[in-house]
């Protein structure tokens, strides 16, 4: 059985590789290389899987929500990903890399019986990034 919970958060970032010139960064990242950065209203879908327990549920939803808020959203919400997260000091904060960070943050705090199966982060109506996890 699988359950997916949806969360929303806002954050800003700038896509920029320091080893490249401004022109090369603009060519590579387009408008996302804006020197002042830009923001997104992200949607995070967290999917857990496992058997239905004796009380008829896959997972305690309040416990899952609390874990996601404490271990992931508290770190990224209303942050400038480039400046506020040491994990992005030497890594370009693309949404692909953000998905990997969220996975790591969740797994570091995971204490639920259900397994973390899948993450999806949508940054726009047209761009969503899926990451299979399948472990705790």
Per-residue model confidence as pLDDT tens digits over 85-126? 999 999 999 999 999 999 999 999 999 999 999 999 999 999
How high is the pLDDT of residue 134? 77
Q: Report pLDDT digits (tens) over 6-29.
A: 999 999 999 999 999 999 999 999
Say what the pTM is: 0.94
* Lowest pLDDT segment from 56-60, 63-67, 125-129, 132-136: 132-136
Q: Measuring CA to CA, which residue among 96, 101, 91, 97 is closest to residue 127?
A: 96
Angle at 97 between CA 132 and CA 61, to 5 degrees: 50
Extents of the domains making up the chain:
2-135
Looking at CATH, the fold of the domain delimited by 2-135 is given as: Tetrahydropterin Synthase; Chain A (3.30.479)
Q: Measuring CA to CA, which residue among 47, 42, 23, 36 is closest to residue 94?
A: 42
């Amino acid at each position: 059985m699988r359950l997916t919970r949806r969360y929303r958060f806002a954050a800003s970032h700038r896509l920029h590789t320091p080893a490249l010139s401004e022109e090369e960064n603009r060519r590579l990242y387009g408008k996302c290389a804006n020197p002042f950065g830009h923001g997104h209203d992200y949607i995070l879908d967290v999917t857990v899987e496992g058997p239905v327990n004796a009380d008829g549920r896959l997972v305690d939803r309040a416990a899952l929500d609390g874990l996601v808020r404490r271990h992931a959203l508290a770190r990224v919400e209303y942050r400038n990903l480039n400046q506020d997260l040491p994990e992005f000091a030497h890594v370009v904060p693309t949404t692909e890399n953000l998905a990997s960070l969220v996975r790591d943050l969740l797994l570091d705090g995971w204490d639920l019986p259900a397994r973390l199966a899948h993450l999806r982060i949508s940054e726009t109506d047209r761009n969503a990034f899926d990451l299979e996890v399948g472990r705790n």
